[in-house]
A and B are shown apart, each in its own frame.
Chain A
Amino acid sequence: MEKPSFVYVIYIATTAERLWEALTTPAINRKFWFGMQQASDWKVGSTWRMENSDGTAENIGEVLEVDRPRKLVVSWWNDTDPELRPAGRTRFTFLLQPEGELVKLTLLHDIAPAGQAFIASISEGWPQILSSLKTMLETGEPLPGTSEGSSCKERQLKNS
């Protein structure tokens, strides 16, 4: 098995079920995911879209594995951006592991070496998204700049 390109870990004072809900509910996504939302019915084989605030989506994929509230695996690709297209099908995995009062959230992202622009793009995006997710779940408020009305992620994807 290939080693992932990135591994991110964050500990959040919440329950696995609440964290799963935050990760998979569009209206909650928008609060911490730079105003974007993941649209999917979260069934294996279903489509996955990362929708911009206007409902369009350049980032699409397929749900590969669902084990609520422990594991979620999704493939993700971008056919519209000439810089991101060479990455082909990337794959990210969320692992949720309760540890006492906390939940350890691990994010693995597998990206082919041809996807340098994709790697640069997500390595700026994911840590901010995870940090904002933690702040939102622990305080009720997301970080400024990562919630609805912010277009940081869209800007990053275009600039990369």
Chain B
Amino acid sequence: MDDVFQALADPIRRELLDRLFARNGQTVSELCVGIEISRQAVSKHLNILEQANLVATVFRGREKYHYLNPVPIVDIYNRWIGKFQQSQLQELSDLKRLLEEE
């Protein structure tokens, strides 16, 4: 679990996860588009995310595709946010979104 929090404690890595959330299954080249760091640095960040199991990869031919793997985050969620709190938290989250949209 330390790996997960360390991996998440970086804005570039969070952006990479956001991109995979928006479109799952991307190559390094696709993930480099519009990011202000080198391809080598992107690969390094992806390796850290993969080590933390937040990113899962598969090869198809010569291409390596990266996927957002939410399972460790679900583990964290299950550990600290009980089943019975879910509806109240959803309401708070909806309220926040509503107020911030105005």
In this assembly, does A45 line the interface, its C-beta being within 8 Å of a C-beta of chain B?
A: no
A7 pairs with B74, CB closer than 8 A: no
Q: Of the 9-residue stretches B11-19, B36-44, B59-67, B87-95, which lies at the interface with chain A? A: B59-67
Q: Are A3 and B25 in contact (CB under 8 A)?
A: yes
Residue contact B71 to A7, C-beta cutoff 8 Å: no
Contacts of A11 in B (CB 8 A): 53
B24 and A6 form a contact (CB under 8 A): yes
Chain A interface residue count, CB cutoff 8 Å, equals: 23
Chain B, interface size: which category? 10 to 19
Q: Which of B58, B69, B82 contacts A4 (CB 8 A)?
A: B58
Q: Which residues of A contact B75 (CB under 8 A)?
A: 131, 134
Chain B 29-60: CB-based contact to A (< 8 A → 1; otherwise 0)? 00000000000000000000000010011101
Q: With an 8 A cutoff between CB atoms, is A144 at the interface?
A: yes
| Interface flag for B97 (CB, 8 Å) | no
Chain B CB within 10 Å — which of A4, A130, A131, A143 has the most?
Answer: A131
Report how far A5 CA is from B61 CA in the complex, Å: 16
- For the complex, what is the distance from the CA of A11 to the CA of B63, rounded to whole Å? 24
Which B residues are in CB contact (< 8 Å) with A6? Answer: 24, 67
Given A3-B25, A106-B56, 6 more A-B residue pairs with CB atoms under 8 Å apart are A3-B60, A8-B71, A108-B58, A131-B74, A134-B75, A144-B83
- Give B contacts to A, CB under 8 Å: 24-25, 53, 56-58, 60-61, 63, 65, 67, 69-71, 74-75, 78, 82-83
- Chain A contacts to B: CB under 8 angstroms: 1-11, 106, 108, 127-128, 130-132, 134-135, 143-145
A-B contact pairs, 23 of them (CB 8 A): A1-B60, A1-B61, A3-B63, A6-B67, A7-B56, A7-B57, A7-B65, A7-B67, A8-B56, A8-B69, A8-B70, A9-B69, A9-B71, A10-B53, A108-B58, A127-B71, A127-B74, A130-B71, A130-B74, A131-B74, A131-B75, A132-B78, A135-B78
